[in-house]
Structure 1
Amino acid sequence: MSIKQKSSFREKNEQGTLYLVPTPIGNLQDMTFRALEILENVDLICAEDTRNTLRLLNHFEIKTPQISFHEHNAQERIPYLIEKLQAGQDLAQVSDAGMPSISDPGHELVKACIQADIAVVPLPGANAALSALIASGITPQPFMFYGFLPRKKNEQREVLEQLEQQTCALIFYEAPHRLKKTLLAMQTAFGPERKIALCRELTKRYEEFLRGTLADAVKWATKEEIRGEFVIVVQGNSAPKAKKADPLLELPLAEQVATLIAQKQLKPNVAIKEVAKLNGLKKQDVYNEYHQL
């Protein structure tokens, strides 16, 4: 197995290039000169919503044609777009706001281009998560970007419980109509004293930062009429609990399987699967050890 090397600028290639172009998250002045040049010169723009992107293009008097590319038509569109790239056309991919692929469609097209040995060139630009992080007042490094939490209550609770012990800053996106419930769930999982920054309508006219504890944030959300898109930055756990060693893992693999069979009354194959998962091993390896093969 070898590393596949692909230069964005040095190679001469008859194939086209896929440019990943960030767009403003609210303030059109955040559009870069390079992004405008790329959008003007590519053969086609792949847009999450062509109507939204058309307003951007009209503002900068760019006439490049568009094609819709979003989560509902990605699999249908990708072969067509790869054909265009292989024929030598350059494409730009944009989402409605911010970076393509970050809580927006794009990743599947990037993977398809890499598979087809087509150059993928990312442009730097507007990004809500990092903009919120550096202004949050919460220690910015290390950090974990999660994006939107699951909407189902049980799934959301499980995710937050898994993240509770993380020591790095945590970054989430949330819509206004779900913010209060999400903050309540975070308070339950992380505790009321965990520091938080609510970053609202970044780069827009009503940009606002609300900084305090989760208890403060819940109280604010209960009293206020919530509007605008939010980035939530949560402080990491400053005193994570040390994981207790599982005494089961100190036993030989065969004895681990036998113990689970006896304690949980599991069938051998089910116990073998669980032991493999606990030890980070292949099921077949545990099977062979248990049956002395």
Structure 2
Amino acid sequence: MWERNHTKVKDFILHGLSINGHTQTAIFTLFLGVYILTLVGNVTIIMLVWCNTSLHKPMYIFLVNLSFVEIWYTTTTVPKMLSGFLSENNYISFTGCFLQYYFLFSLGATECFLLTIMGYDRYLAICQPLRYHVLMSSRVCFCLAASCWINGFFWSSVPITIVSQLPFCGENEINHFLCDTGPLLELSCTRDLVTEVTSSVITSLVLLITFFFICISYIFIIQTTVRIPSSSGRRKAFSTCASHLTVVIMYFGGAMYIYIRPSGKHPLYLDKAVAVLYTTVTPLLNPVIYSLRNKEFIDAMKKVMKQLYRI
């Protein structure tokens, strides 16, 4: 019936960030710079680990996977957001919108699983040091990394599929800079409670389950750390986890605010600001946090710089 009375939506218009003309050029330049630095920073991490055999350890293998996720995670949203600054109407096709939606959630879920595995790796390194190389062998490391990617892309296929089957007609303007669950559900011609609950539950489970296991890992890590007799030993143990814990707080904090909260009206400007935080800022800070707080990484960087200087 609705197909006869309404025109089926073929594309959407992303409103993006509400910025006046005087500051639009400056904001565009800022986000372009952040995007370029994100790519450079994460590619640098991948190349450093790849070229230095001293960094061929599970901790850095997982970090390489995280950097690879961050490159594509930010690429999923930022280029389209930047194009919105250059055009009056930032169109995105129906297929393109749901492809962005799918990769945004798949890569986000993959990051959740990777951060969980990285927490488990730190737990083994601190709480089971004598058995670490057995429990976290190269084969186990590879299997865990692969499982993060498989689970991330499989888990996210369910909510994206059911939301894409909803009828979209009439209104096609999304007051956001990306295709997300909330804005898309608001544009649907019919309200489907089952779809809303299912997509919300699946997204919440990914965040809550992974965050729960990260918390469990750190409970054991803290218990082991406080038993270390020397203060220098405690500082060294904690320093190996500080970078990971910082990233976890930033990423999960923003994601949980958006996807795990009571239903109702929420300030749109705050939703956009938080979305910018976990889609744009966090991918930039991750390589900075891990490189500046890691002595092995700094030494590897110095080694590469000396080799380049000799050339």
Q: Taking structure 1 as the reference length, what is the TM-score of the superposition?
A: 0.22
Greater gyration radius = 1
Which structure has more relative contact order (CA 8 Å, sep 6+)? It is: 2
Higher helix share: 2
Higher strand share: 1
